[in-house]
Amino acid sequence: MRLTQRQLLTGVGLDILLGDPQWLPHPIRGLGFLIEKAEEFWRGVRLPLRVSGSLFALSVVGVSTALVRFTLPRWSVYWIFSLLACRSLDAESSSAIAALQDGDLAEARRRVSLIVGRDAADLDEQEILRAAIETVAENLSDGVIAPLFYLALGGPAGMAAYKAINTLDSMAGYRNDRYREFGWASARLDDLANFIPARLSAALICCCAPMVGGNFRRAVLTTLRDGRSQPSPNAGFPEAAVAGALGVQLGGLNFYRGVPSRKPYLGETVRPLDVSVFQGARRLLYACTFIAVVLVCRVRK
């Protein structure tokens, strides 16, 4: 089904203007409900966990994609608007930094805990800044560039398929006793779906670095050197690109439910982590979104 440039630009514009308003039902909440019910069903099927988990992931992606496709083209603008996360990513991360600037460390910790998986109760100012910048970098790919990439390939239904995979990973892609086997397919699908978008995001960040006062050459070199160093096969690329572009060092020690997890460092400390660096990450978010939208318009022309 043909997606018009007017529909695309209207959907993106609504996301930039409104973000994720609480009064509007969000499809990710419905997707979460679908995942919970599908997990109950497939766990009840007497099959090896890896097999039932694979069928679970495929069924969620298939149902989500079919439901969105059934509503097209009438709801195209709504799906584009609701499945992008540029404004909400900016608003939620900026909220934590605003509390930090107000001197309310406890509130900054609370707000940053809403957007990161690491323990936030004991984070100091530098660690809150690092958490917010890393979140903007990683979710620039997951929340903006990847959905636009799949929109270019498959329209709003392609977007929905990607968001289903991404949400499956966030709910079932864990390496714990409950999900190590059952969630294996969900995690692998997410790795595969993000392979190109993560690297495309890094390339966009490098290209946009001079537009926000960053360094193109350092962004490229840091991405090439550090992008593959993280446990995730994809998350390190946009984070390394941001670290290089802004001249800061990301990565290091985090705690998850009290358990320490040290990730390799990304980039080098050319400048200290401060609020101006976070503002640079925000500018990169919007610059990359703009370029990506222009590219999608050309592809869908």
pLDDT tens readout for residues 190-207: 999 999 999 999 999 999
Whether 272 shows a pLDDT value over 70: the answer reads: yes
**The two structure tokens encoding residue 95:** 């909220």
Residue 256: what are its φ and ψ, rounded to 5°?
Answer: -125, 110
Give the pLDDT mean for 69-86: 95
Structure confidence by residue, pLDDT tens digits, 4-47: 899 999 999 999 999 988 888 889 999 999 999 999 999 999 89
Describe the crossing of helices 275-299 and 5-18 by its angle, rounded to 10 degrees. Answer: 160
CA distance 293 to 296: 5
What whole-number percentage of the chain has pLDDT above 70?
Answer: 100
Computed over every residue of the chain, the mean pLDDT equals 95
Confidence category of residue 1, pLDDT binned at 50, 70, 90: low
- What 3-state DSSP class applies to 254? strand
What whole-number percentage of the chain has pLDDT above 90?
Answer: 89
pLDDT of residue 25: 80
Judge whether 55 and 186 are in contact, CB under 8 Å.
no
Closest CA to 104 of 125, 85, 126: 125
CA distance 156 to 70: 11
Judge whether 252 and 130 are in contact, CB under 8 Å.
yes
Closest CA to 129 of 242, 286, 231, 259: 242
Whether 80 shows a pLDDT value over 90: the answer reads: yes
Higher pLDDT, 162 or 256: 162
Judge whether 62 and 160 are in contact, CB under 8 Å.
no
pLDDT of residue 22: 80
CA distance 12 to 293: 8
CA distance 146 to 266: 22
Residues 6 or more apart whose CB falls under 8 angstroms from that of 47 comprise: 55
CA-to-CA dists, residue 20 to 163, 240, 292, angstroms = 15, 28, 20
Distance of CA 246 to the CA centre of its chain: 19
Residues 6 or more apart whose CB falls under 8 angstroms from that of 91 comprise: 19
| Distance from the first to the final alpha carbon of the chain | 13
Residue 241: what are its φ and ψ, rounded to 5°?
Answer: -65, -45
Residues 6 or more apart whose CB falls under 8 angstroms from that of 54 comprise: 184, 185
CA distance 61 to 158: 10
pLDDT of residue 3: 86
Residues 6 or more apart whose CB falls under 8 angstroms from that of 174 comprise: 180, 183, 187
Q: Which residues pair with 261 in a beta bridge?
A: 254
**The two structure tokens encoding residue 188:** 């692998």
Give the DSSP H/E element, type plus range, for residue 300: none
Structure confidence by residue, pLDDT tens digits, 205-217: 999 999 999 999 9
Whether 137 shows a pLDDT value over 80: the answer reads: yes
Degrees, nearest 5: CA angle 30-174-120: 85
Describe the crossing of helices 125-140 and 105-113 by its angle, rounded to 10 degrees. Answer: 30
Higher pLDDT, 174 or 14: 14
